[in-house]
């Protein structure tokens, strides 16, 4: 069964460092998302991406975040200068265009900022 894959599964970084989280969505999916979940809290939307551009972003997704689809398959989230509060699980998700359009999630990338 096709699945969304994310790398790395866990990354530890120093505050102020840049981090890139990578995702390979399911191949025939058209819509892509990044969500984050701070430990023990709700799943929060960061950004959605369609047709090679951002379609919607939350207030969390400030200037230190960026997304790219560099080669038509990978979908990356970059955090330019990490802060302690960026420590969270980051989920990539994708869906086809049709209703109901449930999101298929990757297994997440756990980011720990020290």
Partner 1 sequence: AQKITQTQPGMFVQEKEAVTLDCTYDTSDQSYGLFWYKQPSSGEMIFLIYQGSYDEQNATEGRYSLNFQKARKSANLVISASQLGDSAMYFCAMRPLNSGNTPLVFGKGTRLSVIA
The binding site for partner 1 (CB under 8 A) comprises 31, 33, 35, 41-45, 48-50, 55-56, 89, 91, 93, 99-108, 110
d(CA 44, CA 47): 10
End-to-end CA distance of the chain: 37
Nearer to partner 1, 76 or 107 (CB): 107
Q: Identify the CA nearest to 113 among candidates 89, 92, 85, 79.
A: 85
Give least dist CB 60 to partner 1, A: 12
Nearer to partner 1, 22 or 45 (CB): 45
Nearer to partner 1, 20 or 30 (CB): 30
């Amino acid at each position: 069964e096709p699945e969304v894959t994310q790398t790395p599964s866990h990354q530890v970084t120093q505050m102020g460092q840049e981090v890139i989280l990578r995702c390979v969505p399911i191949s025939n999916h058209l819509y892509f998302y990044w969500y984050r979940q701070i430990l023990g809290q709700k799943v929060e939307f960061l950004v959605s991406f369609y047709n090679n551009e951002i379609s919607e972003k939350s207030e969390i997704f400030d200037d230190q975040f960026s997304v790219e689809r560099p080669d038509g398959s990978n979908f990356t989230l970059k955090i330019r200068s990490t802060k302690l509060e960026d420590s969270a699980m980051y989920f990539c998700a994708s869906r086809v265009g049709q209703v109901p359009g449930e999101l298929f999630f990757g297994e997440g990338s756990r980011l720990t900022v020290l």
